[in-house]
Structure 1
Amino acid sequence: MTDFRLTAQHTDGDLALAYITGELDLATAPRLRTQALALIEQGHRHLILDLAAVTFCDSSGFNALVGIFRCAKAADGTLVLAALPDRLERLLDLTGLSALLPAYPTAAHALVAHTCSPDTATA
């Protein structure tokens, strides 16, 4: 079995920060998608995924991120990525998805941006 773990830290009512560890591939992408969508269904429509500990990401993992983005958007939420591995950052740039999926150097930067954004401010 491929190493993978999603650890969620809820930092606000509608915000969840999740740390992804391991490989995002054909074997783990469905778990990533299921666990991230469960966070959205629990009311955490704004997701920050910290990918600093991702060691590999193939097209299945990439597609899971796109699917999570679509579900967050359908829930009137957002998906933000943090600490992208270089290869995944290049893939987002090449596909044009970097315009839809904001990325920050660290989860702390993403949290500050979320807090300061009028679109995601909570009452």
Structure 2
Amino acid sequence: MTDAFHIDVPHTQGALAVIALSGEFDIATAPAVRARALELIANGHPDLIADLAGVTFCDSSGLGALIGIWRCAKEADGSLTLAAIPERLGRLLSVTGMDTFLLTHPDTQTALAACQGNRFTA
């Protein structure tokens, strides 16, 4: 049985938006995540925080979506920050070297505080 997948946007302010994911982030759900993130970027929120606390599984498609979102955010002079990374996804990021260039925070509140202290509130 698969976990129902949800994408929520609980916070937007200026250039910053939080996209919260829950359930299985895989080949079936990655396109929707990428599409929603690119929509946020196109609508003036190029600085994204991906809240991954509710992600129960992530495969290479989910990782590919994160890489694609990061690239699109950078092209829009933005960023992608990951928050509340589940242990298995953290290991996947480490093995692939993604953890060397993606900003991470232990939870969304910490990520928001860090981002709001930067240019995102301008």
Normalising by the residue count of structure 2, what TM-score does the alignment of the two structures yield?
0.93
Runs of 4+ in 1 over 3 A off after TM superposition: none
Is the 2:47–2:120 contact (alpha carbons within 8 Å) kept by the matching residues of 1? no
Q: Which structure would you say has the larger RCO, counting Cα contacts within 8 Å and 6 or more residues apart?
A: 2
Is the 1:2–1:28 contact (alpha carbons within 8 Å) kept by the matching residues of 2? no
Between the aligned partners of 1:98 and 1:42, the Cα distance in structure 2 is 27
Q: Tell me, which stretches of 5 or more residues in structure 2 are unaligned?
A: none
Matched, 1:60 2:72: no
Between the aligned partners of 1:21 and 1:97, the Cα distance in structure 2 is 21
Greater Cα shift, 107-116 or 8-17? 8-17
The answer for the alignment partner of 1:31 in structure 2 is 32
The answer for the alignment partner of 1:51 in structure 2 is 52
Between the aligned partners of 1:28 and 1:17, the Cα distance in structure 2 is 18
The answer for the alignment partner of 1:122 in structure 2 is 121
Between the aligned partners of 1:121 and 1:57, the Cα distance in structure 2 is 28
Task: Say which SS state the counterpart of residue 16 (structure 1) adopts.
Answer: strand
Aligned residues, how many? 121
Shift, 1:4, TM fit: 1.4
Shift, 1:32, TM fit: 0.7
Q: 1:18 to 1:121 in 2, by over 3 A?
A: closer
Between the aligned partners of 1:104 and 1:122, the Cα distance in structure 2 is 18
Shift, 1:57, TM fit: 0.4
Between the aligned partners of 2:71 and 2:29, the Cα distance in structure 1 is 19
Between the aligned partners of 1:2 and 1:112, the Cα distance in structure 2 is 30
Shift, 1:100, TM fit: 1.2
Normalising by the residue count of structure 1, what TM-score does the alignment of the two structures yield?
0.92
Between the aligned partners of 2:12 and 2:71, the Cα distance in structure 1 is 22
State the one-letter code of the partner of 1:46: D
Is the 2:58–2:89 contact (alpha carbons within 8 Å) kept by the matching residues of 1? yes
Is the 1:51–1:84 contact (alpha carbons within 8 Å) kept by the matching residues of 2? yes
Equivalences for residues 3-18 of structure 1 within 5 A: 3-18=4-19
Task: Say which SS state the counterpart of residue 85 (structure 2) adopts.
Answer: coil
